[in-house]
Amino acid sequence: MCVHDKGDGNPHAHIMLTLRPFNEDGTWAAKSKKEYILDKNGERIRLPSGEYKSRKVSAVDWNDKGKAEIWRAAWEEYQNAYLERVGSSARVDHRSYARQGIEKKPTVHLGAAASQMEKRGVATDRGNINRTVAVSNQ
């Protein structure tokens, strides 16, 4: 995990996970396995190539997009607990503005190149979009 807070109003964290599970002895296990597709009689289906029809099944569900919602909700709970513990009235919400019922337009992601240009005082298309959105949201 890496937490970035450069004081620019965009503190955020990058949380990385491996897609491979570990074996009990600490070595890497396979990240997926092959599962054969069966016909109505429970027999493997042979393809014209001679191979059997199969699909890849992940060993872990960490890459499932539904997990992001669960993890973001848990992260919100931890953040808010710590904010409360230190006496801050600030709170975070992992949901989008629309899901929170807030009529606010989101800004667009600048990216590294546009961010650097904006910091040097060079206006970018994305920066201009975000400035327009900021005025609209006021």
Domain total in the chain: 1
The answer as to whether 128 is a domain residue is: yes
Place of tokens 């973001």: 72
Mean pLDDT for all residues in the chain: 91
pTM over 0.85: no
For residue 25, what pLDDT band results from cuts at 50, 70 and 90? very high
CB 108 within 8 A of CB 99: no
- Of 28, 11, 10, 27, the residue nearest 19 (C-alpha): 28
The answer as to whether 75 is a domain residue is: no
pLDDT of residue 106: 86
The answer as to whether 23 is a domain residue is: no
The answer as to whether 81 is a domain residue is: no
Average pLDDT over residues 104-126: 91
Q: What is the dihedral of CA 110, 113, 116, 119, to 10 degrees?
A: -40
56-86 residue pLDDT tens: 998 888 878 888 899 899 999 999 999 999 9
User: DSSP string covering 45-62, please?
Assistant: PBPTTSSBPEEEEES-ST
The answer as to whether 129 is a domain residue is: yes
The answer as to whether 111 is a domain residue is: yes
109: containing domain: 104-138
115-124 residue pLDDT tens: 999 999 999 9
